[in-house]
A and B are shown apart, each in its own frame.
Chain A
Amino acid sequence: MDAIFIIEQILNGLGYGLMLFLLAAGLTLVFGIMDTMNLAHGSLYMAGAYIAAQVHQASGSFVGAVLAAIAATVLVSWLLEILIVRRLYPRDHLAQVIATFGIILIADDGVKALWGPSPLLASMPTALAGPVQLLAELPYSAYRLLLLGAGLLVAAGLYLLVNHTRIGMLVRAGASNRAMAELMGVRVDRVFSFVFALGAALAALAGALMGPISAVQIGMGEAILIPALVVIVIGGIGSVRGAFIAALLVGLVDTAGRAFLPPLLRAVLPPALAADLGPALAGIAMYLLMAAVLILKPAGLFPARA
């Protein structure tokens, strides 16, 4: 295990973390403002991945594919919000869980009908398929660098949006004290429609970008949803800043766990045991992180509500 390997893994972890952040940002705002648990957020991510892969293949333009994925997913989410999610705001978490789980089932079958049951092959843009020489000894995937850049760019944009614009102020007001915001004349329902669409756009972007380096398949939304939920719980429900920090933490812990734990364990434990324990510990690392954070700070690292 040399320094190059470690740097590479840290970069991978940050990239994964930034993609988690794209998912978690929308989720945490929806949760924070409308107290609504949306399990179907992962389905929007899946939609983004499928549409981007399809458009990229058909047109050859990766940028066009990403934009198309975002536009189409926002459209779908807009329908979803009007038809179903809007009616779920006043309901309890259980009803929200049930209905949005229903949406997952519908979405999975919809994708199956459109693209078939087998995974889709999403290719990288050819210009970015090769490695870039970051340091003399460190070649790194150009595409993963794009992921890092795009993730940071969006995070910065979101920061400016939430902290330095009028709509951002309304969003923050809604997240920290919804009743008060309503009394002061904020049309919370409009703010929420905006936030839901924004969350969908970010989820679609994450799906489109992750497609080429993960499997584009049915169920990918359900798989990524859980880490995203872990992120928003660690960060503090409703806090975008918390989601950012927590996403990077989870990305690093998860990637580092998978990369470093197995060799470390092999060094100190009998090989058979290490072979079993390594992946298990790596898989549960982020949940342990969450449990530890909740024990120390029950409302997450950056509670949005006082």
Chain B
Amino acid sequence: MKRAPGWLARSLPWLLLLSLALFPLLAPSLDLDYYVGFIRHLLIVMMAATSLNFILGYGGMVALGHSGFVGVGAYTVVALVDGGVTSAWGAWLAAVAVAGAFAAVIGAVSLRTRGVYFLMITLAFSQMLHHLAVSLSAYGGDDGYSLHAPLLLGVGLDDAHPHVLYWVVLALAALLFTFSCRLAVSRFGYALRGIRDNETRMAALGYPIYRIKLAAFIGAGAVAGLAGALLASHNKFVSPSVMHWTESATLLVMVVIGGLGRRWGGPAGVALWLTLAEVLKLYTEYWRWPMGLLLVLIVFLAPKGVVSLFEGPRRAG
């Protein structure tokens, strides 16, 4: 059916993974220390974007509140650390569970609406979460909360060591990416795309539409929660601004410019957007408008995302 990819295409992801894994070791000699943290941040945002791409690109659910789940994950870590928890894995896992639970409730309500109403109600929920975080004076309210004590990763390691956290994040991101690729060609992935393309027919074929969408929504929320938890460890700081609606919009933007429903769409969009911002910031304090211009241009010139520019006439996979 599909042309088998050549050896170069097949080994490219592995080469990328290898070079990313070696980067912290080589960075000092190349005077690129700062970029270890930058790439770590990139990888975390890629996880959030990949989860959004799953419901947005494969599921056709235009949600404008995804950063709400990132925030829930981050604040779960804050709450646990504040309560004396020291295990990184425990805190992160809890963040996944709590964000998934929030996604279950929010999704159960939101998925009863459609189109622009779905967009608005997901936005409304994330705004509620934002207000909730602002009012949590125990966790710093508007000023945010600094995580002073490192979280322990076991075998004598903790998340304060910049390289250790980098590798953990890289491993999790790679795992998640692999999983998302597999998910796309699994029964669930096909069912989700079928619903996106023709919901009525899928209902007539006997698919439980609502449950499938909800499951996807919960999964995406849980992964966003993981990204939020890692972001807390990465920044050692959490504030309500992680859930501002413009953060949700930025995630959406990154997924769309990368490529909706394309496996490399999330990572490519995040890499392009954040790298561009980083480079522009080196030269000017007016770095936002070129990015805005880029968005307008992409909408008109490459509506299927930058990944599509590198594809042949082949269909999205």
Contacts and interface: CB of A to CB of B under 8 A. Distances in A.
Establish whether A and B are touching in the complex (CB under 8 Å): yes
A237 B116 CA distance: 10
B143 to A, nearest CB: 14
Interface stretch (A106-114, A155-163, A179-187): A106-114
Contacts, number: 126
A280 B124 contact: no
A283 B294 CA distance: 34
Interface stretch (A12-20, A61-69, A142-150, A271-279): A271-279
B120 A98 contact: no
A39 interface: yes
B215 to A, nearest CB: 22
A107 B115 CA distance: 27
Nearest to A284: B128
Contact of B128 (A97, A105, A287): A287
Interface residues of A, number: 45
Contacts of B124: 230, 287, 290-291
A104 interface: yes
Contacts of B132: 280, 284
Given A101-B249, A222-B246, A226-B123, 19 more contacts: A93-B115, A95-B256, A95-B299, A98-B252, A98-B256, A102-B295, A105-B292, A109-B287, A109-B289, A112-B285, A229-B120, A276-B136, A278-B135, A279-B131, A279-B134, A280-B132, A284-B132, A294-B121, A298-B113
Interface in B55-81: 56, 62, 64
Residue with the highest number of chain B CB atoms closer than 10 Å, among A91, A93, A113, A291: A291
A105 B131 CA distance: 24
26 contacts: A37-B119, A84-B296, A88-B299, A95-B256, A98-B256, A98-B257, A99-B295, A99-B296, A101-B249, A103-B296, A105-B289, A106-B292, A109-B287, A109-B292, A113-B286, A230-B124, A233-B117, A279-B135, A280-B132, A280-B134, A284-B127, A287-B124, A288-B128, A291-B109, A294-B113, A298-B113
A294 B137 CA distance: 31
Contact of A98 (B138, B287, B298): B298
A87 interface: yes
B281 interface: no
Which 5 pairs between the two chains have the least Cβ-Cβ distance? A102-B295, A105-B292, A283-B131, A280-B135, A109-B289
Interface string A263-306: 00000000000011111100110011011001000100000000
Interface string A51-94: 00000000000000000000000000000000010011001011
B306 to A, nearest CB: 13
B292 A103 contact: yes
Given A98-B299, A283-B131, A290-B120, A106 B293 contact: yes
B253 A276 contact: no
Interface in B264-312: 285-289, 291-296, 298-300, 303
Contacts of B256: 94-95, 98
Given A287-B127, A294-B113, A105 B252 contact: no
Contacts of A87: 300
A276 B137 contact: yes
Contacts of B245: 222, 226
Residue with the highest number of chain A CB atoms closer than 10 Å, among B119, B120, B257, B291: B120
Contacts of A287: 124-125, 127-128
Interface in B119-156: 119-121, 123-125, 127-128, 131-132, 134-138
Contacts of A237: 116
A93 B117 CA distance: 11
A101 B299 CA distance: 11
A8 to B, nearest CB: 24
Contacts of B288: 105-106, 108-109
A294 B286 CA distance: 40
A280 B131 contact: yes
A278 B137 CA distance: 12
Interface in B236-271: 245-246, 249, 252-253, 256-257, 260
A27 to B, nearest CB: 12
A129 to B, nearest CB: 30
Contacts of A109: 286-289, 292
A95 B135 contact: no
Given A97-B249, A284-B127, A290-B124, A37 B116 contact: yes
Contacts of B285: 112
Contacts of A222: 245-246
B172 to A, nearest CB: 28
B125 A277 contact: no
A113 B191 CA distance: 49
Nearest to A91: B299
A97 B119 CA distance: 10
B231 to A, nearest CB: 21
Contacts of B298: 98
